[in-house]
Structure formats: C-alpha cells, structure tokens
Amino acid sequence: MKGFPKTIGTGQDLFNCLAMVQAGELAAVDLKNAIEAIEAQAYIPCPIGSISEDRKTVTINYCPEAQASQAINTATSGCTVSAVEHKKVSGGTEDAGSETGPNQTIVTLSTALGVGETVLKIPAPTSPYAALGITQEQIDSIKVVLCHE
C-alpha cells in the first residue's frame, strides 16, 4: 500500500496503519487525524440557535437524539443534559421541522457552557467504534503509542 488509505473500514485497518507508522511507512499525523475524524462521529453537532443568560439553556434545531442524563461533548468538563423539551415554533421561513412535529429542541444543561461555544455535541445513537469493531480502550491505546511516535 502506498500512502494513507482513503477509508478506514475496520479496527484492524487502524492497527495496520499503526504498524505502518511504526515502520516509518506512514506519517503519525495522518493516523491521528483519522482517529480524530472517527471520534467526531460519536457526536451529532447541533448549532446553537440561542443561549440563556446563565448559559445553561440552549435552543437548537430539533434533535430527537437529545435526552436527559446524556454527557455531552463541550469544553466544559462533566457537562450533562438535565432536561430536554421539543417544541413547535412557527416562524415563517425558519420553520425547518415537519408541519406537525417539533422544530426546536430546548436543552437545559447541568453546567454553564463556556463563552464562545457555538455547537452542542449530542451523543450519536450509534457508536462509530462498534461500526469499526473496535473499543474506545483500543483507540486510546493507539493514541498513546502515537504520542511516542
């Protein structure tokens, strides 16, 4: 194989790439970037439409995957969803939902979001690790090896 693969289809592909990095055949940065892309698939990025003054309540487009008690991916460590409300708001051209269903999700968080956060990352319903047949621990072990490359 020449160059970094265009797709990573299995966990074994990651281990093969790691072996190639260790052999000097691939750049470690390419594998790091591929792992970051896989980790990003664990979340659904939801742009924040509005945020409360205390930065604990955000409005996003309708997201049925948002559920109470979920840990979300933010710069604020340990942030979880306290409550979720889906509602229909009519607003002319902004009306992105179905005609009868909700088009907004209001998420109340356990911790205030940091200033400058514009996206709420809700856990995806399916794990990208399961799809690859690899565990989070295996991904973490590859990342540890890459730190020393």
Q: Output the pTM of the full model.
A: 0.74
Q: 55-86: per-residue pLDDT in tens?
A: 999 999 999 999 999 988 876 677 899 999 99
Q: What is the pLDDT of residue 95?
A: 47
pLDDT recorded at residue 93 = 52
User: What is the C-alpha to C-alpha distance for residues 63 and 43, in angstroms, rounded to an integer?
Assistant: 12
pLDDT, one tens digit per residue, over 104-142 is: 999 999 999 888 889 999 999 999 999 999 999 999 999
